[in-house]
């Protein structure tokens, strides 16, 4: 799955790569989390545009968002059938600019975070589907989910799911939803090739959404990892007090 990601490339570089007409200026983000507004590239009237959408898709038929599960990911294997995604995958596909993402691996009874990025250091585009939810008072909310696939052999060492990333040469094919046909984009919903991504362990500071700084991306040493490991709780042994008439003195 993908539950946190990073956007560090300069806005001008991302605009050139994704080809949208707007010129947004935004700061780097080192710990993007669900429910936050995130950039999405989409096609409208034949041109690519930059939009901010809430990460966590709300299907148009949802009446009360408070009682609906937060859909941050859409599984590629079922995206064509699931009621929440089956229309969006045909008509509302987007790309989410990013420079990497975090994943957590269970090690020694705790979860160790890793930062995962392209081995060549280039930005990437997550495959996404989006919906505009309209509330009872006419309010509108653009929402989005990241498409995921079964992990390739190397990334499976960290987690069994990975976000689908679209190559720049396939941006146009993924974004083209003028018809309802999906045959052309089915081959794109696959995991990265073996060796395409690299990763390293990072500090558990990333666990807190409030932490959003470049230090989160730094590799963590074995010594630092050990220092961050939860300390075992001290067990207090209780000694039963002797009765006052047994001739024995209390230890305390």
Active site residues: 2, 103
Q: How far apart are CA 102 and CA 114, in angstroms?
A: 5
Structure-token pair, residue 75? 């599984």
DSSP-derived 3-state class of residue 134: strand
Beta strands in the chain (DSSP E): 5-7, 29-32, 37-44, 47-55, 73-75, 93-98, 100-107, 110-118, 124-134, 140-150, 161-163, 165-166, 197-201
Structure-token pair, residue 118? 């392209």
């Amino acid at each position: 799955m993908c539950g946190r990601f990073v956007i560090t490339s300069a806005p001008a570089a991302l605009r050139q790569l994704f080809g949208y007409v707007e010129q947004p200026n935004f700061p780097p983000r080192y710990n993007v989390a669900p429910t936050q507004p995130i950039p999405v590239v989409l096609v409208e009237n034949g041109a690519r545009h930059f939009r901010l959408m809430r990460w966590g898709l709300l299907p148009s038929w949802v009446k009360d968002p408070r009682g609906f599960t937060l859909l941050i990911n859409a599984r590629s294997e079922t995206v064509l059938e699931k009621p929440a995604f089956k229309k969006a995958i045909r008509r509302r596909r987007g790309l989410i600019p990013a420079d990497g993402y975090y994943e957590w691996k269970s090690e020694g009874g705790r979860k160790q975070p890793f930062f995962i990025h392209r081995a060549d250091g280039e930005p990437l585009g997550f495959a996404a589907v989006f919906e505009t939810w309209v509330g009872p008072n006419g309010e509108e909310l653009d929402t989005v989910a990241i498409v995921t696939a079964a992990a390739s052999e190397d990334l499976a060492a960290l987690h069994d799911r990975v976000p689908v990333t679209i190559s720049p040469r396939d941006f146009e094919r993924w974004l083209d939803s003028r018809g309802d046909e999906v045959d052309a984009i089915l081959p794109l919903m696959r995991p990265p090739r073996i060796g395409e991504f690299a990763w390293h362990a990072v500090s558990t500071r990333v666990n807190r959404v409030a932490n959003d700084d470049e230090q989160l991306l730094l590799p963590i040493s074995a010594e630092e990892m050990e220092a961050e490991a939860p300390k075992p709780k001290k067990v207090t042994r209780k000694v039963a007090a002797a009765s006052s008439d047994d001739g024995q003195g209390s230890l305390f």
